[in-house]
Amino acid sequence: METLLEVRNVVKYFPIYAGGVLIRKYLMCQAVDDISFSVGRGECFGIAGESGSGKTTLAKVILLMEKATSGSILFEGKNILEFNKPDIMWYHSRVQTIFQDAASSLDPRMRIREIVGEPLEVQHNSNQLSQRAVRARAEEILCSVGLGSACLNRYPHELSGGQKQRVAIARAIILEPSLVVLDEPVSALDVSIRAQILNLLADIQEEHGLTYIIIAHDLAMLRHITTHIAVMYLGKIVELGNTDEVFDNPLHPYTKALFAAVPRPEPDRVKKASAISGEIGNPTCPPGGCRFHPRCSDATPDCQQVIPTLREVRPGHQVACYAETKAVGNTSSKTASSV
Amino acid sequence: MTRDGDRSREARTAIDTTTGKCLLSVENLKTYFYTRAGVVKAVDGVSFTVNEGEALGLAGESACGKSITCLSILRLIPQPAGRIIAGRILFEGEDLLTKKESDMRRWRGKKIAMILQDPLMSLNPVYTIGNQVAEAFRLDNIKRALIKQKAVDVLSNVKIPSAGERLDCYPFQFSGGMRQRTAAAIAIARSPKLLIADEPTTSLDVTIQDQFLRLLKEMQQRNNMGLILVTHDLGIVAESCDRVAIMYAGRIVESGSVRRVYKNPAHPYTQALMMALPKLESRSKRLFQIKGEPPNPASLPPGCSFHPRCPEAMDICSREYPPLFAVDNDGYALCWLLKKGGA
Question: What number is the average pLDDT over the span A323-329?
Answer: 66
- Which pLDDT score, from 0 to 100, does residue A87 have? 92
The answer to whether the Cβ–Cβ distance between B276 and A202 falls below 8 Å is: no
CA distances from A99 to A59, A106, A164 (A): 11, 10, 11
Of B12, B86, B35, B87, which is closest to residue B245 (Cα–Cα)?
A: B12
| Predicted complex ipTM | 0.83
**pLDDT value at residue B208:** 86
Distance CA B13, CA B48 (A): 8
Query: What residue of B is the nearest CA neighbor of A257?
Result: B207
Residue A74 C-beta-side C-alpha neighbours within 13 Å = 14
**What is chain A's mean pLDDT, rounded?**
88
Dump the DSSP string for A267-326: TTPPPPPPS--S----TTSPPSSSTTGGG-TT--HHHHH-----EEEETTEEE--HHHHH
Q: Residue B257's pLDDT is what?
A: 95
What DSSP letter does each residue of A131-189 carry, written as one string? HHHHHHHHHHHHHHTT--GGGTT--GGGS-HHHHHHHHHHHHHTT--SEEEEESSSTTS
Q: Given B177, B237, B272, which is nearest A279 (Cβ)?
A: B177
> What's at B1, amino acid-wise?
M
> pLDDT, tens digit, for every residue of A249-288?
999 999 999 998 888 888 887 777 776 777 888 888 888 8
Of B235, B283, B293, the CB nearest to A162: B293
Asked if A229 has any chain B CB less than 8 Å from its own CB, the reply is: no
| Whole-number Cα distances in Å, B212 to A2, A235, B158, B163, B343 | 44, 25, 9, 17, 45
Task: Say if residue B110 is exposed, middle or buried (CB neighbours under 10 Å; 0-12, 13-18, 19+).
Answer: middle
Is the pLDDT confidence value at A114 over 70?
yes
Beta bridge partners of residue B51, listed in sequence order = B22
What pLDDT score does A329 carry? 55
- Bond before B278 cis per omega within 30 degrees: no
Chain B CB contacts of A201 below 8 Å: none
Nearest partner of B235 among B181, B281, B193, judged by Cα: B281
Cα angle B317-B321-B323, degrees, rounded to a multiple of 5:
115
Cβ-Cβ contacts under 8 Å between A and B: the total is: 120
Q: How far apart are CA B228 and CA B56, in angstroms?
A: 5
Exposed, middle or buried, B132 (CB in 10 Å: 0-12/13-18/19+)? buried
Q: Chain B contact for A258, CB < 8 A?
A: yes
The half-sphere exposure of A2 on its side-chain side, counting CA atoms within 13 A, is 8
Spatial separation of the C-alpha atoms in residues A49 and A288, rounded to whole Å: 20
Residue A334: pLDDT band with limits 50, 70, 90: very low
Give the confidence band of A58 by pLDDT, cuts at 50, 70, 90. Answer: very high
> Distance between CA atoms of A36 and A245, rounded to whole angstroms?
19
pLDDT of residue A50: 86
Task: State the pLDDT at residue B19.
Answer: 55
pLDDT at A248 over 60: yes
pLDDT bucket at A328, cuts 50 / 70 / 90: low
Give the sheet arrangement for strand A26-40, strand by strand: A26-40, A3-17, A70-75, A78-79
How confident is the model at residue B15, as a pLDDT? 46
Angle between helices A131-144 and A112-123 (to 10 degrees): 120
Cα(B121)–Cα(B176) distance, rounded to whole angstroms? Answer: 12
Q: Is the pLDDT of residue A330 over 60?
A: no
**Looking at the complex, does the CB of residue B211 fall below 8 Å from at least one CB of chain A?**
yes
Q: For chain B, which residues score pLDDT lower than 50?
A: 1-18, 343
Query: Is residue A331 over pLDDT 80?
Result: no
Q: How far is B6 from chain A (nearest CA, A)?
A: 33
Averaged pLDDT for residues A237-247: 94
Using a CB–CB cutoff of 8 Å, tell me whether A328 touches chain B: no
- The pLDDT value recorded for residue A335 is 41
pLDDT of residue B159: 84
The contacts of residue B149 (CB under 8 Å, 6+ apart) are: none
B-contacting residues in A 93-122 (Cβ below 8 Å):
none
